[in-house]
Chain A
Amino acid sequence: MDCKKIVKDALAAGRSHLLEPEAYQVCDEFKITYPQFIYVSNTEDGAAAARSIGFPVAIKVVSPQIIHKTDAGGVVTNIQSEEQFTNEYDTMLQNVRKNAPAAEISGVIVQKSMPKGVEVAVGGLRDSQFGPVVMFGAGGILIEVLQDASFRLARLDREEALRLIKETKIYKILQGVRRNEPSDVEVLADLVVNVGNLLVDIPEISELDFNPVLSYPDRYAVIDARILLSSLIQTSVSNSD
């Protein structure tokens, strides 16, 4: 589906963020890659999905009211078997209902669990003076604690994206420390470029967060995609004052 329509429909439904499956559809259009997933609405379909994807898998709750899924107890990773899956699925939904009683649950994402990689974060926002801006930094909870992140105005080319990545402290880890193989920084640069294009092309997106993005020696994978919307569109920053 055309991502302009996805965004339009979400706004029309009164939502201020895209559901994760919708966010991945937007990713598709901008050549942003993420682990394979199946969107399900009950335990049985979930278990079937897990079998077809292959264990281990992760499950994540999808709700128009929940932006921070982990805080609501709506994420379980590294599920190894079908039996564990059924248990975890039900427990997770119970937790979510307890932690966020008002939240309407649209479904659950069953996604391939990814091997350990370097956690980075790629994000973007629309600044009142600078317009669409992209961010690259350390991922996971490190971003909040260390604030290891750098910014650039979108659009940007690959060379500028590489300079951005090299400014951060996490870059040293990406280069390979001790026995860890170096990460593919070039594909991360492409990801930053694509996020920049996404922000410029879809003005309804006010902020976005891909965190964590797992970085590997030959690729990357966006593990969580959060896209926030605003109906107050800034069409062109050149016109704003």
Chain B
Amino acid sequence: MINFIAKNVSGLTHRAVSGKTYIYWYGYIIIYVIISLLLEKPEGMIMSAAGQVKGSLSGLFNARSIAVVGASPKKDKPGNQIIRYAQAMDFDGQIYPINPTQKTIEGLTCYPDIMDIPGRLDLIVLVVGADECVRMAREIARRRDEKGDVAGIVVVSGGFSEGGSVKGGEKEKAMLEPLQARSIRLIGPNCLGIVDQYSGVNTTFDVPPYIKGGVSVVSQSGALAASFLTWAKDMEQIGISKFFTVGNMADVGVDEAVEFLGEDENTKVIALYVEGIRQGRRFVEAAKKVSQTKPVVAYKSGRTSFGSGAVRSHTGAVAGNDRIYDGAFRQAGVIRAATIAEFFYTVCAMGKQPLPRGNRICVLTVVGGPGTICIDALQATGVVEMARLSDGTKEYLKEILAPTAVVGEPHGYVDLTASVTKEMHEEIVRIILADEGVDGLIYLNTPPPFLSDEKLVESILKGYNSFPEEERKPLLCVLTFGSNVSGLRLLFERGGIPTMEFPDVAAVVMANMIRYSEWKNAHKTFK
């Protein structure tokens, strides 16, 4: 750690100062680092790679008091929606609308200025114009100097570097500068901000309260992240720990976000949407560490060609920035999804199911076509091996199933046909999952209306839950009637079984789980 910090800081000073001064600075930095390691660190402070002291992000996510600058009494304004979503959360801290023209907003006492807020203030949300944000940053700095509070701010407003204009970039810098000098963290600008389902903090105008769970979303696009949550909401496909949109990443980037969520006990899976990573190498280092304990599933857009300078070698011509991302993600254990459907469902499945211990997968179907599609897609992934059921399993299944049923032909394929009853599912699921040659199971059905929802789910769950938790294998459920059987899917989801509508997507999701499991085993850290 010291070596790393020292190396980087000395790298910076090396170019700027003469030899003697350089040694002086080097010594100073080492002493500084040793002292700060010996002395108790200031609460909530972390050291960045550049040796600069940064405030911890937990001060924002665990804020007990939130001020919203630009709070509005009008229902059709983001500055009003933010207040209402903040109130709707399970949050027992203080919410302070800031607006010099109002006495109250949504029943809350309104303050003219952040300096007027009594008691401790942890988090400030800015929903005002860019110029006003720059002024507010200085005001926030003044509050920190006088009262010693404010861990960080979320800047929802746009009008900064995202447009690519010089002016916008300058405003962003001007806003950041007084905050950075005081270790006040900034999320955004140009973002939805953050939600923490456990602490009850919500700075967004787009994410109403959600079910608690183990999925955390990090995104450069607020709209995609909010959509992600919305897709999963009705059928309870995921539960959320933290929602983290980074916007222009003036201060907090995806690397730090992923690192932070890696440490978050409530986060079991990280869903990451990125368009570009500024500090690629730092991201890989952070993600690699996180991947050793929990999966990071990513969708990376912007697959444009590599355009930095004249490319004269083969390596340069073949590279393309996108393929380097591919390699970097693989190196870091990050699962890169090729499509948004794959991204979404991989996160859903990993949020609920254990990892497969091997790559031998069985397809259990009631319907022929979707079963075949699933097998094709499994084979195409290149990582899946179709499970060879033991003779005992095959004989037993043949005994209890109708003569029309197909068992283990081809390997790893069991077609129950429509003659199967819901009660039989329990035994079938149990016997297949108990087979030592099976590492994971995909169940497919339409299902026909004559099978009762409750009974079918109950039967499958009984079979699945007959194993102790540590022995469980992943089970994915494909219901090709999709949202038309949302009631049935909700029952499965509540029982912890992820559902999807497309058989090929389920195959790719299973392959992702296998890949991650393999990566994790190869990168086991021995303690």
Distance (whole angstroms) from the CB of B331 to the closest CB of chain A? 5
A124 within 8 A of B: yes
Q: Are B331 and A160 in contact (CB-based, < 8 A)? A: yes
Given A131-B280, A133-B324, A150-B326, A236-B8 contact (CB < 8 Å): yes
> Nearest Cβ distance between residue B164 and chain A, in whole angstroms?
16
Query: A128 to B8, alpha carbons, bound, how many Å?
Result: 17
Whether the Cβ atoms of B280 and A127 lie closer than 8 Å is yes
Q: A159-B522, A238-B8, A241-B278 are in contact. Are A153 and B314 (CB under 8 A)?
A: no
- Note all chain A residues with C-beta closer than 8 A to B317: 144
Q: Does B233 contact A (CB under 8 A)?
A: no
A interface residues (Cβ-Cβ under 8 A, vs B): 67, 121, 123-125, 127-131, 133, 135, 137, 143-144, 147, 149-153, 156, 159-160, 163-164, 167, 207-209, 211, 226, 228, 235-241
Q: Is residue B53 contacting chain A, with contact meaning CB distance below 8 A?
A: no
Q: In this assembly, does B93 line the interface, its C-beta being within 8 Å of a C-beta of chain A?
A: no
Prevailing SS type, chain B contact patch:
helix
- B473-527, CB < 8 A from A: 522
**Interchain nearest-CB distance for B303 vs A (Å):** 14
* Residues of the A chain whose Cβ atoms lie less than 8 Å from the Cβ of B324: 127, 129-130, 133, 151
Q: What are 11 A-B residue pairs whose CB atoms fall within 8 Å in the complex?
A: A121-B314, A123-B318, A125-B316, A127-B280, A127-B321, A150-B330, A152-B328, A208-B313, A208-B315, A239-B12, A240-B279
Q: Which residues of A contact B331 (CB under 8 A)?
A: 152-153, 156, 160
In the bound assembly, the distance between CA atoms of A121 and B316 in angstroms comes to 12
CA distance A147 to B319 in the complex (A): 9
In the complex, A39→B126 CA distance in Å? 68
- Other-chain residue from A164, A226, A237 in contact with B327 (beta carbon distance below 8 A): A164
The answer to whether B282 has its CB under 8 Å from any CB of chain A is yes
**A226: B residues at CB distance < 8 A:** 313
A121: chain B residues within 8 A (beta carbon): 314-315
B-chain residues with CB within 8 Å of residue A144 when the two chains form the complex: 314, 317-318
Closest to A130 in B: B280
A143 touches B318 (CB 8 A): yes
**Assuming A124-B315, A152-B331, A239-B8, what are 20 further A-B pairs, CB within 8 angstroms?**
A121-B315, A123-B313, A130-B284, A131-B280, A137-B318, A147-B318, A150-B330, A151-B328, A156-B331, A164-B327, A207-B311, A207-B313, A207-B316, A209-B313, A228-B312, A236-B8, A237-B281, A240-B279, A241-B278, A241-B279
> In the complex, which residues of chain B have a beta carbon less than 8 angstroms from the beta carbon of A150?
323, 326-327, 330
A211 to chain B, nearest CB (A): 6
In the complex, how many angstroms separate the beta carbon of B179 from the nearest chain A beta carbon? 18
Q: Please, how many angstroms separate the alpha-carbon atoms of A235 and B318 in the complex?
A: 24
B interface residue numbers (CB < 8 A to A): 7-8, 11-12, 15, 49-50, 276-282, 284, 308, 311-319, 321, 323-324, 326-328, 330-331, 522
Residues of chain B with a CB closer than 8 A to A239's CB = 8, 11-12, 50
Would you call A129 and B314 a contact (CB within 8 A)?
Answer: no
Complex Cα–Cα for A137 and B313 (A): 14
CB pair A153–B328 under 8 Å, yes or no, is: yes
Complex Cα spacing A226 to B313, Å: 8
CB distance from B359 to the nearest CB of A (A): 14
Residue ID in chain B nearest A237 by CB atoms: B281
Whether B327 and A209, one on each chain, are in contact in the complex, defined by CB atoms closer than 8 angstroms, is no
Minimal beta-carbon separation of A40 from chain B (angstroms): 26
Q: How many angstroms from the CA of A235 to the CA of B316 in the assembled complex?
A: 20
User: Closest residue to A232 on the B side, CB-wise?
Assistant: B309
Of the listed residues B282, B313, B522, the one surrounded by the most CB atoms of chain A closer than 10 A to its CB is B313
CA distance A236 to B314 in the complex (A): 24
Within the assembled complex, what's the spacing in Å between the Cα atoms of A28 and B51?
37
Q: In the docked arrangement, what's the CA distance between A137 and B312, Å?
A: 17
Assess the A149–B323 pair: CB atoms within 8 A. yes
Partner pick for A129 among B50, B315, B321, CB 8 A cutoff = B321
Give the CA-CA distance A239 to B328 in the complex, in Å: 18
Q: Is the CB of A209 within 8 A of B12?
A: no
Instruction: State A125–B331 Cα separation when bound (angstroms).
Output: 17
Give chain B residues whose Cβ lies under 8 Å from the Cβ of A131.
280-281
A131 to B313, CA, bound (A): 17
With both beta carbons as reference points, the residue of chain A lying nearest to B49 in the complex is identified as: A238
Shortest distance from the beta carbon of A233 to any chain B beta carbon, whole Å: 10
**A129 and B316 contact, CB distance less than 8 A:** no
Of all A-B residue pairs in the complex, the 4 with the closest CB atoms, nearest first, are A123-B315, A151-B327, A129-B280, A130-B280
Q: Within the complex, what minimum Cβ distance (angstroms) separates A68 from chain B?
A: 9
Q: Are B11 and A129 in contact (CB under 8 A)?
A: no
Which A residue sits closest to B278, measured CB to CB? A241
Q: Which residues of A contact B281 (CB under 8 A)?
A: 129-131, 153, 237-238
Q: How many angstroms between the C-alpha atoms of A123 and B327 in the bound complex? A: 14
Nearest residue, chain A, Cβ from B306: A127
A235 CB contact (under 8 Å) in B11, B314, B326: B11
Q: A67-B312, A123-B313, A125-B313 are in contact. Are A133 and B327 (CB under 8 A)?
A: yes
The CA-CA distance from A237 to B321 in the complex, in Å, is: 16
Q: How far is A124 from B326 in the complex, measured between Cα atoms in Å?
A: 15
| Minimum CB distance partner of A135 in chain B | B315
**A240, B277: Cα distance in complex, Å:** 12
- What is the bound-complex CA distance between A152 and B328, given in angstroms? 6
Residues of A within 8 A of B15 (CB): 235
Q: Report how far A107 CA is from B407 CA in the complex, Å.
A: 71
**B330 & A163 in contact (Cβ 8 Å cutoff):** yes
Q: Which residue of A lies closest to B276 (CB)?
A: A129
- Whether B279 contacts A133 by the Cβ 8 Å rule is no
Checking B282, B311, B314 against A143 with a beta-carbon cut-off of 8 angstroms, the contacting residue is B314
Chain B residues whose C-beta falls within 8 Å of the C-beta of A67 in the assembled complex: 312
- Tell me whether A151 and B319 are in contact (CB under 8 A): yes
Q: Give A212 Cβ to nearest chain B Cβ, in Å.
A: 10
Chain A's nearest CB lies how many Å from the CB of B431? 35
When distances are taken between beta carbons in the complex, the residues of chain B under 8 Å from A137 are 318
Docked CA distance A127–B309 (Å): 11
- The interface residues of chain B lying within 8 Å CB-to-CB of A127 are 280, 308, 319, 321, 324
CB distance from B148 to the nearest CB of A (A): 30
A contact residues around B282 at 8 Å (CB): 238
Q: A128 and B11 in contact (CB under 8 A), knowing A167-B330, A209-B314? A: no
Instruction: Give complex CA distance A241, B50 in Å.
Output: 12
Residue in B closest to A226 when the chains form the complex, CB atoms: B313
What is the CB-to-nearest-CB distance from A171 to chain B, in angstroms, rounded to a whole number? 12
The smallest beta-carbon distance between B351 and chain A, in angstroms, is: 26
**A19 and B7 alpha carbons, distance in the complex (Å):** 33
Residues of A within 8 A of B11 (CB): 235-236, 238-239
Interface contact B321-A207, CB-CB below 8 Å: no
**Minimum CB–CB distance for B471 against chain A, Å:** 29
**Bound CA–CA A163/B311 (angstroms):** 27
Residues in B neighbouring A207, C-beta threshold 8 A: 311-313, 315-316
Tell me the bound Cα distance from A194 to B426 in angstroms: 55
**In the complex, which of the residues B277, B308, B315, B321 contacts A209, with contact meaning CB atoms closer than 8 Å?**
B315
Residues on B with C-beta less than 8 A from A208 are 313, 315
Q: Establish whether residues B319 and A125, one from each chain, have CB atoms under 8 Å apart when the complex forms.
A: yes
Tell me, in angstroms, the Cα distance from A143 to B313 when the chains sit together: 11
